[in-house]
Every structure is written in structure tokens, then in C-alpha cells.
Chains A and B, each alone.
Chain A
Amino acid sequence: DAKTTQPPSMDCAEGRAANLPCNHSTISGNEYVYWYRQIHSQGPQYIIHGLKNNETNEMASLIITEDRKSSTLILPHATLRDTAVYYCIVRVPNRASNYKLTFGKGTLLTVNP
């Protein structure tokens, strides 16, 4: 699986958009970008994933650059409850060799009042 690089921490004001970057310069053509988040002392929660088109759901938007070497998770109106560690991972779904699911250290997003 391609390696990802994320900033260790970010701050955001409540009500503003939070933009979390992720670099994945070695991503291969069939690898998807996945985002999860972990609120303190809980299990991680799936947010969104995408291949090359921008994606949006009720939680967030995912913007993937045209060369697919980086992506940005956007929380359009951050709330205090969005304070969490956000993990970006890349992997190929539906591939048996990809069962080894690994996470990095992620980005600690702190939403301030």
C-alpha cells in the first residue's frame, strides 16, 4: 500500500471549514484514498473514500488532485464534536493481498470555540 503523510496537528475555529491535507505521492492507479477519524478513547469511524473524482457525503467532502498524489478532506462547518484524530490511508479494495490494513499517526484536528 502507498505510504501517506499528514501533518501531526491542525487547529480550526468552530463554524469554519476544516481542510485536512494528505500526501500520497506513491499511490498506484487502482488504490483508493480512505479517511477515518477517531474521537478520543473511541474506535475509529469511517468518513469517506474516493478514487479520482471528488466525493461528498453527509459528513465531509474529499478532494483528490488530478495527479492523485494528494487529497484534502473538508469538513465544511466544523463543530467542537469534530475534534478528533483524522487518518488518511490508501489501499485497493477487493484485493486479498490488501488484508493487512495499516494506519499511520494521523492529524489531530482541534476545533476551537
Chain B
Amino acid sequence: DGGITQSPKYLFRKEGQNVTLSCEQNLNHDAMYWYRQDPGQGLRLIYYSQIVNDFQKGDIAEGYSVSREKKESFPLTVTSAQKNPTAFYLCASKTNTEAFFGQGTRLTVV
């Protein structure tokens, strides 16, 4: 089935370690997105990519990095520079009319 897959669903890391969240889509969409969601809050845009080998910072890019080497994949690295990394992370891909979301990765940094 076509869709967008995030893995893992839950992730635990020690403070100071970098961690990479996976996002894969087989929908043949050009545009992909990463969002962060904190309890009781809306979605905040971290990074987005319109096409392979290109990406732009969203509203809260500090402490994060991404790559877009393949159309299907848009991994997000949460670096040690991110002050409050514990959150729910959502990946999405988009057609011209509709966005499709993964089921999210809940990252906990201890």
C-alpha cells in the first residue's frame, strides 16, 4: 500500500546525543515536511523540502538538520544543540491539494 512511514514510533536518547528520525514515502510526492508537536500545541514546521537535494528551514529549524538525497526519504537529525528535544515529531508529504502524514515518532531525551 502507498503511504508515509515513520520509524521508530518511540525513541529514547540520552541528553547530548544526536538522533536521526526516519521518514519514507512511496507516494511519489516531491514535497516533504517535518513538524514538531508539544503537548497541547499545534504543529510547528521544522524543515521542508520541495524537491530532491533541496530543503528550506521552517519556523523552528535551530538544533535540527535534514537531508533529501532521495525522493522517497527525508530523515531528520535532532542534534545536541536542540535545547528541548523531547516532543512528538511528524513527517508529511504533499500533493498539490492534500498533505499525508506519518504516524509520528515520540522522542524522549533523558
Contact = CB atoms under 8 A, between A and B. Distances in A.
Contact of B58 (A44, A94, A100, A105): A100
Interface size on A, as a range, is 20 to 34
Interface in B43-72: 43, 45, 48, 50, 56, 58-59
B88 A41 contact: yes
* B interface SS class: strand
Contacts of B48: 99-101
A4 to B, nearest CB: 11
Contact of B94 (A85, A101, A103, A106): A101
Interface residues of B, number: 27
A101 B50 contact: no
B92 interface: yes
Contacts of A45: 101
A101 B42 contact: no
Interface string B90-103: 10101011111111
B98 to A, nearest CB: 5
Interface of A: 36, 41-46, 49, 85, 87, 93-94, 96, 99-106
